[in-house]
Amino acid sequence: MYSNRSACICGKNSGNISPFPESPFNHRLRKNPPLNPDPHSKPTHCYNCKAPVSANFCAECGQETRLHAASVREFLHEFIGHYVALEGKLWGTVGRLLFRPGALTNEYIAGRRVRFVQPLRIYLTMSVLFFALLKMTNGFEVPMTPPTPASIAVADKQAEEAAAVHEESEAAAGVPAHVRSAEAALAAKERAAAKKRAQEPGAINIDETTIEGWMNSVPVVHAKWQHFEHLSIDEKAKVFNNAFYHYAPYAMFCLMPFFALFLKVLYLGSGRRFGEHMLFALHSNAFAFAISIALLLTPWEFAKFLLWIWLLGYLPWAMQRVYQAGRFGTAWRWLTLMSLYSVTMGIGFLFTAGAGIMTAGH
């Protein structure tokens, strides 16, 4: 046994035969050789699917044929190239998005898509950057100030004048004095209770009687509202601020189908599909986020004025280019779209505030 082993080691075949069994690791290395050290030479087979290749990408799986060894530089290149799309795509996309209204949407509809960043990606990028910058700069804060003595005095005076007018009208109508006195006492009692609530720390001007009816039917909502009512003014402001930064990005994204739906209704008969309206919604709202970022970063008032003008004029210009309508048709559709979308945004932010109240204290 030892003589055979010595022959394997020292004999004429010692350079080709290993005295020890080959490990699975060495087998895998021979089966999957390292990348070609010369990046300028073309490989003959795809590293991923082993199919023959003759170009920069594999025709079977689409992977690049010229690969570099793993390094920090390669990781940074992958991140910048594929996630930020800095290799030509970003500049062409941002240039058309910011300075050529409707051009990016028309390019996508025409089928020229590979050269630009995908619509959803550019929207999400601008949205994340805007809300992150808004939070860093404290650009959104709910103004909640306690009632001042002057405002309380004005409210009391207005209530007394209204009560006097009401009593005079009832006297003229022949209402008995004891009925008027009872009604006046009840009104005074209600005013005193309202005044007491207004003077409590953290009181806000919300008529509880209009909401308690339906809240009582939902115990969880009622309990959350009661918890919110007992918070101080600063704590309530913190609840709304946290709700805005946490839920507003999701609310804005969920409003995109509504934006597209309004366009679909406004341009009935145009032959446009809902997906094309959704594409236009993503591009136009990504532009709005980009201009909002510029407004947050610009310290000059005149520059802000120009940005506001461009923000207001961009959408009707883009609508005219994409939908090919006349000026008058574009104008009334733009006004209608802005009205409907403003109401929808208001409702969305109400749901955002409600979500903040429901999650307060968690």
pLDDT of 290-325, one tens digit each? 999 999 999 899 999 999 999 999 999 999 999 998
Residue 213 included in any domain: no
In a domain, 235, yes or no: no
Picking from 331, 158, 81, the residue whose alpha carbon sits closest to that of residue 166 is 158
pTM: 0.64
Q: How confident is the model at residue 7 (pLDDT cuts 50, 70, 90)?
A: very low
Q: Are 134 and 245 in a shared domain? A: yes
**Has residue 216 been placed in a domain?**
no
Distance, in Å, from the CA atom of 313 to the CA atom of 319, rounded to the nearest integer, reads 10
- 124 DSSP 8-state letter: H
Residue 293 lies in a domain: yes
* 54 and 176 share one domain: no
Tell me: do 189 and 166 sit in the same domain. yes
| E-only strand ranges, 211-344 | none
Domain assignment present for 212: no
Q: In this predicted model, which residue has the larger pLDDT, 81 or 333? A: 333
- Core vs surface per residue 107-116: b (16+ CB within 10 A) or e: bbbeeeeeeb
165 with 314, same domain: the answer is no
The answer to whether position 231 is within a domain reads: no
Distance spanning both ends of the chain, measured CA to CA: 74
Comparing 16-25, 193-202, 227-236, the range with the smallest average pLDDT is: 16-25
For residue 266, being part of any structural domain is answered with yes
Same domain, 246 and 354: yes
Same domain, 176 and 125: no
Q: What is the number of domains present in the chain? A: 3
* DSSP state for residue 59 in the 8-state scheme: T
Domain shared by 249 and 322, yes or no: yes
Q: Are residue 153 and residue 128 in the same domain, yes or no?
A: no
**Euclidean distance between CA atoms 105 and 318, whole angstroms:** 9
> Does residue 298 sit within a domain?
yes
Q: Are 307 and 177 part of one and the same domain?
A: no
**Distance (Å, rounded) from C-alpha 26 to C-alpha 30?**
6
Regarding whether 342 and 193 lie in a shared domain, the answer is no
Please give the mean pLDDT across all residues of the chain. 75
With CA atoms as reference, report the closest residue to 345 among 268, 241, 262: 262
Q: Please report where in the chains the tokens 């808004």 appear, as a residue.
A: 134
Residues 252 and 348 in one domain: yes
The answer on 347 and 265 residing in a single domain is yes
Residue range(s) defining the domain that contains residue 177: 149-200
pLDDT at 157 over 60: yes
